[in-house]
Structures are given as structure tokens and as C-alpha cells.
Amino acid sequence: MTEFDAQILGESDQDIALNDRDDNHAAAVALALQARRRLTIFSRELDPRVFDHADFVEAVKALATRSRFSRIEILVQNSERIVKQGHRLVELSRRLNTFIELRKPHSDYRDYNQAFVIADEVGVLRNPIADRYQGAVNFKAPLLARELEQFFKEVWERSEPDIELRSLHI
């Protein structure tokens, strides 16, 4: 049991510091497990040490199959490594492509160096410097979530499906 398991999405309004990849992974799993309709991820490389674990992928799968209204949208700036090495979340997105969509941000955003996860437009995990594990999670941060969702939507609308992520590499 982690300190994140005691947090309730939409109710627990406390910033919890994230100091390493294990904290980031546990927080991402907790958010994904509690999400009921939407999960949004903006990541430079969809860090396998955070997102390529069975518990996280199972939580995303449960969300995707919970309702026909479920949406998981993921922006990945650099997909080369995860395609080469294989990534469980990418494989899941290929099987559940109606609910899980991955895109590559337009080149205008290549210098954006933050990473975040938003659950149900209220819970936020945020790393101000994408390739570091120092950040925070809050399970009730609607103002920050709204701000990040607006930015995500802007980037999403200018993005395209990443061909590398969609094709099957046999």
C-alpha cells in the first residue's frame, strides 16, 4: 500500500511530492485506477519506468473498457524508443484504439519540457521538468487540471496520429 492509495480522486486536496520514478509510477497507477471516464497523458517518451508496468496498463485497460464514453488520450513527443523496445501501453492502444489514442505533438511544441497526467479533469500528476522525477500529485486540483487540459487540447488539435505507434512491428 502506498500513500497514494489513501487519496480519493475529486476529494483529496493535498499536494504530495514525487521524488523518484517509483513515486511517479505509484501516483500514475492510483490516478488511473480511480479515473471513471478520462485520462490524459503528455509525455516526452512515455517513460517505461513509469508507464510500462502491468498494474498501470491494467488500470488503463479497465478505464477503457468501463464505458463507451471512456477516453484515454496520450501525446508522446518521441516515440522511437518505445516502438523499438516495445511498450505495453502502446500494444494496448492498438487493441483498444477506439478508446485509447496516441498522437505526436506538432513540431511547434518540441521544446515543451513538462510531463503530466490528468484523471477525470481533476487529479493531476505533474513533473515541471519532463526527464526528472521531481514533481507533485494532487487528487483534487481542478484549476490546474483545467489549465493543463486547455494546453493539451490546443496541442492535440494540432497533432497527428504517430504512424510509428500505430503500425505493428513484427
Q: Which helix (H) or strand (E) holds 123?
A: strand 123-127
Q: What is the percentage of the chain residues whose pLDDT exceeds 70?
A: 95
Q: What is the pLDDT of residue 166?
A: 63
Just give the CATH number of 3-166: 3.30.870.10
Q: Indicate the pTM of the whole model.
A: 0.93
Q: What is the pLDDT of residue 131?
A: 87
Q: What is the pLDDT of residues 36-80, one digit of tens each?
A: 999 999 999 999 999 999 999 999 999 999 999 999 999 999 888
Residue spans of the chain under pLDDT 50: 169-170
Q: What is the pLDDT of residue 81?
A: 83
Which grid cell sits at 41? 497523458
Q: What is the pLDDT of residue 82?
A: 84
